[in-house]
Structure 1
Amino acid sequence: MSNCPTPAAAGATAEGAVSDRLIGIGCALLAISIWGAWIVSTRHAVHGHLTPATVGWLRFVVPATVLAPAWFRIGFWPRRESVWPFLACFLGAGGIFFLVVANAMRFVPAADVGPLLPGTMPLIVALISVLFLKEWLGIGRAIGFGFIALGVVTLGGRGVLFPEDGAWRGHLLLLCGAAMWAAYTLAFRRTGMRATETVGMIGLWSTIILTPAGLPGVIDAVSAGYGREVLIQLFVQGLLSGVVALVAFGIAIEKLGSSRAAAFTGLVPALAALIAVPVLGEHPDTAAMIGVVATGFGVALASGAFNRGC
């Protein structure tokens, strides 16, 4: 008896694959749109009246609260088989990751954040896949790595050549953050948990570790008359970035796979640079523009965004 699917079954399977891909693409575009604004919002906050720990607390208290029904089904800690993948997710998208990135933004303009954080993350994902998962790279992806390297050198080189401006510290922290985010992207599906459960539990433990430093900062800011700024950060950091974007990106990983979902983050640098012009008055220089273009194009190639098929 043949094991080949009937034409009707094959058609249904193909239709389901197309539906999954469209859902994944939609979720990925939603996430990167929010992250473009998040970069600008975070840099504005840490240069204003809020400390990185305070902004981080606002960032994670919302998903911890909103997604409480999801993580409460599991408990305060994941099951044994999910512990190590969850710890990788927590390190790569939780409170420690946020402090690394937020402190980096104190030294660099918003235009540098995009290429060095979401820009290099897919490169790191691909390198880990090659070295440890034995994934074979085609010529197109190898060329993409070259473009990403060009973008990173163009941006990071300024901090190396002119260390007095302090940008090199931010560049190093952003590259560290990209490696942490790559760990989150690779480990997400291995937790065996739903997107809402993983994001909610990351929010819970991040809130716990940030409360001693973050909550007093919130109280001080409100007492000093910056309550409106706190509310804005609760909305942008907590609801949009902390819940909507992370859940959407988790669904994109589930529907598209790690590499394809990561490819969409190459669009974040351009978004952040464009938003920074009217909001922060930052006009990217020639080096930043080269970095944005080279890294964005390289990420798309290296992550297989132009390939056909699954």
Structure 2
Amino acid sequence: MSADTSLATPAPVVAAEPSRLLGAAAALATILLWAIGLVITRFGATAGSLSLWDVVFLRMALPAFLLVPLLFRLPAAPAGRSRGRHGLLLVIIMAGAGLPFMLTGSGGLFFAPAAHAGALMPGSMPLFAALLAVLFLGERFTAQRGIGTVLMLLGAIAVGGWQVIGGDGNTWRGDLMFICAGAMWSCYTVALKKSGIGAWQAAAIVYVSAFVLYTPVYLFWLDSRLLTAPIFHIGIQVVQSVASGLLSMAFYGYAVRRLGAAPAAAFAALTPALTALLAVPLLGEWPEPATWGGIVAVSLGVALANGAFNRYTVSNR
């Protein structure tokens, strides 16, 4: 009996390898799109041809139009949950990944380099998500996640904390905004999990609500340079809005299905280093030595917090 079992096990493993490779490729595509999105947003915020308000508008406009049909397929509140509580979760979803998140994250890129955004936003997201999951979802704070959290805190200090103490211009303002954006996204993640709404429906809620709230204010009261900006600058922001907003969501969902949630999320640890590397040739931004140290610490901390080594540990028991 044992011989038959041993002969039967290799076949599904071999068959599953292409699927896992495709999942890994999708995860890598996701973090590449995230990193490129941060660099392009930083370019739009600092190039001078577009205002920050233009960048935010271009980031949400096309995804909002593409996702409108999904709003007609939103599920009702689950049985046993009051409409008020379900509505509160929807508000948290809209705020945590919608207009407040976009304004905070994009605004931070006006003050601080893309490398800081790549380290502090992905680094703070698992930190706040872990704390909220313990408080509201009853999840346990494991030793591995604790070590990862400490590394993320040390990395954040290395990336931006020392500039707060040293008073290095306005960079610290951007760093603080990145951390706040990470906290907002964490609230969105927990609210999404408790709401039972699908990822695409949540994206529709986020982008359409942001567009509806922001557009009237943008058109009538905010500084717009769209009519004078080069078509190339406008075009790359529109492409980025779809690539880093919608395509990355599709790639990430595929990676989760093929690899599992924790291994797919662990790929986010590559985002800080990749963003910093892309910012060098595309923006001419060279991170300080302390920033590189912080990027390494944040990357390792994100990997630990997301359970990057769980699969390795299990497979070697």
Which residue pairs with 2:145 in the alignment? 141
Helix, strand or coil: the match of 2:106?
Answer: helix
Q: Matched residues in 1 for 2:231 and 2:139: separation?
A: 50
- What is the alpha-carbon distance in structure 1 between the residues aligned to residue 49 and residue 141 of structure 2? 46
Change (3 A) 1:210 1:303: same
Normalising by structure 2, we get a TM-score of: 0.81
- Please show how residues 1-310 of structure 1 align to structure 2 within 5 Å: 25-47=24-46, 48-74=48-74, 79-81=76-78, 82-215=86-219, 220-236=224-240, 238-249=241-252, 261-308=264-311
Letter in 1 for 2:129: V
Provide the C-alpha distance between the structure 1 equivalents of 2:103 and 2:264, rounded to a whole number of angstroms.
Answer: 24
Distance apart, 1:115 and its partner CA:
1.3
Shift of the 116–67 alpha-carbon distance from structure 1 to 2, 3 Å rule, reads: same
Residue pair 1:36, 1:275 contacting (<8 A) in 2 also: yes
Q: Could you list the per-position Cα deviations for residues 46-102 of structure 1 after superposition, in whole angstroms to 9, with x for gaps in the alignment?
A: 11322232212211111111223322333xxx6345533332222221121010011
Opposite residue 76 of structure 2, the aligned amino acid is R
Give 1:14 shift.
9.5
Query: CA-to-partner distance for each residue in 1:215-266, whole Å, 9 max, x for gaps?
Result: 4699953421422211111111x21122112344456567777655543322
Deviation at 1:204, TM superposition (A): 0.8
Contact 2:159 2:295 (8 Å CA) reproduced: no
The secondary structure found in structure 1 opposite 2:119 is helix
Q: Provide the aligned C-alpha RMSD in A.
A: 3.2
Is residue 126–residue 302 contact of structure 2 (8 Å, CA) maintained in 1?
yes
- For 1:186 and 1:255, locate their aligned partners in 2 and report how far apart those are by CA, in whole Å: 22
Task: Give SS of 1:119's match.
Answer: helix
Query: Which residue number corresponds to residue 4 of structure 1?
Result: none
Aligned length: 299
Q: For residue 111 of structure 2, give the secondary structure of its aligned residue in structure 1.
A: coil
2:233 is matched by which residue type in structure 1?
E
Gaps of 5+ in 1: 1-9
State the shift of 1:180 in Å: 0.6
**What do residues 17-70 of structure 1 show as CA deviations (whole Å, max 9, x unaligned)?**
999977765544332211100111111101132223221221111111122332
User: What is the TM-score when the length of structure 1 is the normalising length?
Assistant: 0.83
Q: Quote the Cα distance in structure 2 between the aligned partners of 1:110 and 1:70.
A: 32
Instruction: Say whether the 8 Å CA contact 1:195–1:247 is kept in structure 2.
Output: no
Structure 1 pair 215/258, CA: closer, same or farther in 2 (3 Å)?
A: farther
What residue ranges of structure 2 are gaps of 5+ in the alignment? 1-8, 79-85
Letter in 2 for 1:101: G
Sort the Cα spacing of 1:134 and 1:188 in 2 relative to 1 into closer, same or farther, 3 A. closer
- What amino acid does structure 2 have at the position aligned with 1:43? R
Structure 2 distance, partners of 1:245, 1:215, is: 29
Cα distance, 1:242–1:95 mapped onto 2, change above 3 Å: same
Q: What is the rounded CA distance, in whole Å, between the counterparts of 1:32 and 1:88 in structure 2?
A: 25
1:161 alignment partner, SS class? helix
